[in-house]
Amino acid sequence: MHTRYSARRWLRFAVGVALMSMPVTPAWADGDPEIGKQVFKQNCSICHSPLPGKVIVGPPLFGVVGRPTTSVAGYNYSPANVAAHLIWTPTQLDKYIENPQKIVPGTKMTFPGLPGPGNAEKRANLIAYLSTLK
């Protein structure tokens, strides 16, 4: 029993290392924050403030890059968001903005997403902008 558990943990570790060392350049790495600011204004700012502490419909997105889900104290998150247990890394944000309901099923964020490869550049610019909110 004990050895089987260790082997599984070792495998998970090995897969993790392999994934981390993959030579991929993520799309968001070369995003333009100035263009991303416009994407934010057009798609997100009706519900999200870029400033700390300011709730509109959604939680403020100040400092969102790198923070865990459900970390704005006092914001009334949905049970779906509470149960998600994700870290908002650029990669995770990219997937979420592409299709919010797929990444956090049942989220109360009604925004349908910026789906597909056709919007990849938009998402990259947006995430570059979100990275400046700190």
- # binding residues, ligand HEC (CB under 6 A): 27
Least distance from C-beta 124 to ligand HEC, angstroms?
Answer: 12
Stretches 2-10, 11-19, 28-36, 46-54: which one binds ligand HEC (CB under 6 A)?
A: 46-54
Least distance from C-beta 3 to ligand HEC, angstroms?
Answer: 39
d(CA 30, CA 127): 10
d(CA 29, CA 84): 25
Stretches 9-17, 25-33, 38-46: which one binds ligand HEC (CB under 6 A)?
A: 38-46
Instruction: Select from 68, 71, 110 the least CA-distant residue to 89.
Output: 68
Residue 133 gets the label, from left (phi > 0), alpha (psi -120 to 50) or beta, of beta
Instruction: Select from 81, 88, 125, 123 the least CA-distant residue to 106.
Output: 81
Question: Mask 66-105, x = binds ligand HEC (CB under 6 A)?
Answer: ---xxxx----xx-xx------x----x--xx--------
Least distance from C-beta 9 to ligand HEC, angstroms?
Answer: 28
User: Is there binding between residue 62 and ligand HEC (CB under 6 A)?
Assistant: no
Q: Report the amino acid identity of residue 104.
A: V
C-alpha pair distances (Å), 70 with each of 41, 79, 85: 22, 10, 8
Binding site for ligand HEC (CB under 6 A): 43-44, 46-48, 57-59, 61, 64, 69-72, 77-78, 80-81, 88, 93, 96-97, 107-111
